[in-house]
Amino acid sequence: MPTPPTAGSAPRAPRPSRRSVLAAMAAAVPAAGLPVLSGRASAAPAAGALPGGGDLGPNVLVFDPATPNIQGTLDEIFKRQESAQFGEGRFALLFKPGTYCGLNAQIGFYTSIAGLGLSPGDTTFHGDVTVDAGWFNGNATQNFWRSAENLTLHPVNGTNRWAVAQAAPFRRMHIKGGLNLAPDGYGWASGGYIADSRIDGSVAPYSQQQWYTRDSSVGGWNNAVWNMVFSGVEGAPAQSFPDPLYTTLDTTPVSREKPFLYLDGADYKVFLPEKRTNARGTTWGSGTPRGESLPLGQFYVAKPGVDAATLNAALSQGLNLLLTPGIYHLDRPVEVRRPNTVVLGLGYPTLVPDNGATAMKVADVDGVRLAGFLIDAGPVNSATLLEVGPEGASADHAANPTTVQDVFIRIGGAGPGKATTSMVINSNHTLIDHTWVWRADHGDGVGWETNRADYGVRVNGDDVLATGLFVEHFNKYDVEWRGERGRTVFFQNEKAYDAPNQAAIQNGDIKGYAAYKIADGVTAHEGWGLGSYCYYNVDPTIRQDHGFQAPAKPGVKLHHLLVVSLGAKGQYEHVINSIGAPTSGTSTVPSTVVSYP
């Protein structure tokens, strides 16, 4: 492999929040000479048509138990990705069914590791899949953009370490032991998300500020810091908010697990798990998961460098999209118009609209599945970056909703970027299952106007459900919910650090824009486990009236709300509307409201 680039060092952050500015990261280079996945292609396409299936390119690495020097390859990938927070390297590490002994797969930025079985037990490690924070002096608050899926682990010392922050999903994993969510030394940590997983031992969050676990099984859960939320989790701690800060729902109202690539004999397919209502526990604990499979030949396998016109041509042909690792520059939106289309990314493929375009638009149709990719705002302001359904969408999708899973949005950090509204959900019944929508607070192209982004997520559709909603640092509302009967299970937010003064965030006669605003005309909405933090480090005298704003309607019900002032850099005067105690000076103890109204 080519010699990995050298990254600048990063000092320990001097505050109890998550970020500090890093040295610029050098771009990673292609992984020449490593094992590459090839799928069986479909029959030859008609003249002029794009082919389905085929090779997945150099940054998808496939291993079987007989592959030589697996550990050496893993170490080389980690070396180049460990501190490349804003680099261009993207990798997917895929393991064929079988047993692997003595491995420690350390997972860096923009790296996904996954088993290629239909169930986690098909691919077993007697070893570890590790995330730690040595690169950042023991601070795990910037361990973003990495994932683990579909593996069974027997950790070497009995406990696997997964010390991550946002945008680092842990899905369909079976840990035959415990799980430690903190870095070595128990430094700061700010995660995170687990779904469809089983941890036989206890989960130990230690320093993790917040976490959401969905439709899983745990042998125990050791502690809570600010906001620990569980839905449909066997073995979850009992409901106890605010002491300790556990929010526990017996089931998840609606869920449909993320699509994933797997090996069926000699053929690669994508499995599409079925929708569940009032779900509890894993999809695979009682045998083969329920759903349907699509052969790789029904996917256009996209490579970096392909343009939006080609992606749209493939979609118009009736193909789905499999985005292989890399960066895709778009001069127009990717248009998803066909019901049940799948757009699945491997290894954090990144879509960049270069001329103010929207990166992706989805029609008001049934059953679209968007999963596993990053949208990075370009230097010319985009009105929106992702639109699910056009304005005025009205169709009923209750039986077959669109899902948005592990789709992450970033404005700034990797360079200048601007977007007025990042994610807009117009289609009814959409499921947002784990997203991190982030206006960057560090990196390149960062400043109150430099990476201007007024709104994070705007929901106009009715009956939309968000499970695992992370939205941070927007200039105005981070979340603005206008649709009826919306529901959110777990919300994590930080207000924009870099507001220059009180006037910059003034919202009429209200001090600051709420992190989570339910529109005045909404009559029904419900949420559980919602937290907002402030760290106004440019002007610590800023006062924020509240973290949450909601109409006083009988059908609007919010459970387990908290606001926190980090290191006394700004303060909240209330939790929701004019309800709840102010934050407490220099203390980082949350101010809580158990229920609203």
Instruction: Name the residues annotated as catalytic.
Output: 494
- Could you report how far apart the first and last alpha carbons of the chain are, in Å? 59
What does the DSSP assignment read for 58-101?
TTEEEE-TT-TTHHHHHHHHHHHHTT-TT-S--EEEEE-SEEEE
Partnered with residue 153 across adjacent β-strands are: 125, 175
- Burial class of residue 339, CB neighbours in 10 A (0-12, 13-18, 19+): middle
Q: In the numeric block, which tokens belong to residue 126? A: 């007697």
Distance between CA atoms of residues 17 and 441, nearest Å: 12
Distance between CA atoms of residues 7 and 5, nearest Å: 6
What does the DSSP assignment read for 442-478?
SSBS-STTTT---EEEEE-SSS-EEEEEEEE--SS-S
Residue whose token pair is 């870099």: 498
Distance between CA atoms of residues 164 and 173, nearest Å: 15
Secondary structure class of 108 (helix, strand, coil)? coil
Q: Give the closest residue to 259 by CA, choosing from 245, 239, 275.
A: 275
Q: Phi first, then psi: give them for residue 165, nearest 5 degrees.
A: -110, -145
Distance between CA atoms of residues 72 and 50, nearest Å: 37
Partnered with residue 105 across adjacent β-strands are: 129
**HEC letters along 287-318:** CCCCEEEEEHHHEEEECCCCCHHHHHHHHHCC
Distance between CA atoms of residues 578 and 576, nearest Å: 6
Q: Give the closest residue to 38 by CA, choosing from 297, 311, 321.
A: 297
Distance between CA atoms of residues 218 and 73, nearest Å: 32
Residue whose token pair is 């992370």: 470
Distance between CA atoms of residues 25 and 365, nearest Å: 40
Distance between CA atoms of residues 358 and 370, nearest Å: 15
CB atoms within 10 A of CB 469: 27
- Cβ–Cβ under 8 Å, residues 479 and 469: yes
Alpha-carbon 426 to chain mean position? 20
Q: What is the DSSP letter of 322?
A: E
Q: Which helix (H) or strand (E) holds 504?
A: helix 502-505
Q: Give the closest residue to 226 by CA, choosing from 570, 547, 550, 577.
A: 547
- Cβ–Cβ under 8 Å, residues 325 and 37: no
